[in-house]
């Protein structure tokens, strides 16, 4: 999702960037695409400056030199992400994302008891220019953003929830959960107080469904969260 997207221009980059040095977690690889489980704390693409050059794309290209970017995950979001092996696959997959033909499922832990157990957030979003890359709800100029949720279980003072983004705005899941009064745990931009005191952003891209760029076969890729 472009929960996805603007992601890697994030910089609480004023902080020290110390990405995890874990090996690639390859979920699938064929002549057209590569699917991996991205760790939290690693940029999807290089940031500005040599100190931000280490990223998932360059690590993948060390093994698959022809790999091409299709979409992104925020630096602190973990989980399933796909790369193309050919220009044709890149065009095809990018079109699927743009036309909302892919299906994405996330798991998150949020602060408080989220009720009811299912629901939809329909709040338009726009960049908060003075505080970039933060996003904000704006009913006047925001772009449509819709997220469905389903509670999985309550855990002490937190809730484990599955999120289904219907659109792909930057920081969409993070802002929508904050707007409900249940920020995602460990979120450096939108969580405050006790909700901010977790070692990582508790947001994970659990499942991605798409059609194979060569032949259109429906495919599903999953990775379990580490939290």
Please say if the pLDDT value at position 1 is more than 70.
Answer: no
Q: How far apart are CA 52 and CA 151, in angstroms?
A: 36
Q: How far apart are CA 207 and CA 35, in angstroms?
A: 11
Identify the structural domains of the chain with CATH numbers, from first to last.
5-102 (3.30.2350.10), 106-203 (3.30.2350.10)
Report the predicted TM-score, pTM, of the whole model to 2 decimal places: 0.92
Around Cβ 160, how many Cβ atoms within 10 Å?
17
The predicted structure's pLDDT at residue 201:
98
User: Which single residue is written with the structure tokens 């760029």?
Assistant: 213
pLDDT tens-digit readout, 50-107: 999 999 999 999 999 999 999 999 999 999 999 999 999 999 999 999 999 999 999 9
Mean pLDDT within 168-183: 97
The predicted structure's pLDDT at residue 4:
39
pLDDT tens-digit readout, 100-136: 999 999 999 999 999 999 999 999 999 999 999 999 9
The predicted structure's pLDDT at residue 7:
40
Q: With CA atoms as reference, report the closest residue to 227 among 192, 205, 203.
A: 203
In percent, the amount of the chain with pLDDT more than 70 equals 93
Q: Which residues are catalytic?
A: 74
Question: Helix %, strand %, coil % for the chain, to 5?
Answer: 20, 30, 50
Mean pLDDT within 157-172: 97
């Amino acid at each position: 999702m472009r929960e996805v997207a603007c992601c890697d221009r994030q910089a609480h980059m004023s902080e020290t960037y110390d990405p995890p040095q874990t090996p690639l977690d390859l979920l699938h690889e064929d002549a057209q695409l590569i699917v991996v489980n991205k760790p939290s704390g690693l940029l999807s693409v290089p940031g500005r400056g040599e100190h931000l050059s280490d990223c998932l794309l360059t690590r993948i290209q060390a093994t698959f030199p022809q790999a091409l970017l299709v979409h992104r995950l925020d630096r602190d979001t973990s989980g399933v992400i796909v790369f193309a092996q050919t220009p044709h696959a890149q065009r095809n997959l990018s079109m699927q994302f743009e036309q909302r033909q892919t299906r994405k499922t996330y798991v998150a832990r949020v602060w408080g008891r989220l009720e009811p157990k299912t629901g939809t957030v329909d709040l338009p979003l726009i960049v908060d220019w003075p505080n970039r890359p933060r996003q904000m709800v704006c009913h006047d100029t925001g772009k449509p953003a819709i997220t469905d949720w389903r509670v999985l279980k309550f855990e002490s003072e937190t809730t484990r929830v599955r999120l289904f983004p219907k659109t792909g705005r930057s920081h969409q899941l993070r802002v929508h959960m904050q707007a409900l009064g249940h920020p995602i745990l460990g979120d450096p931009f939108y969580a405050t107080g006790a909700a901010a005191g977790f070692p990582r952003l508790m947001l994970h891209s659990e499942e991605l469904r798409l059609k194979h760029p060569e032949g259109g076969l429906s495919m599903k890729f999953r990775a379990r969260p580490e939290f």
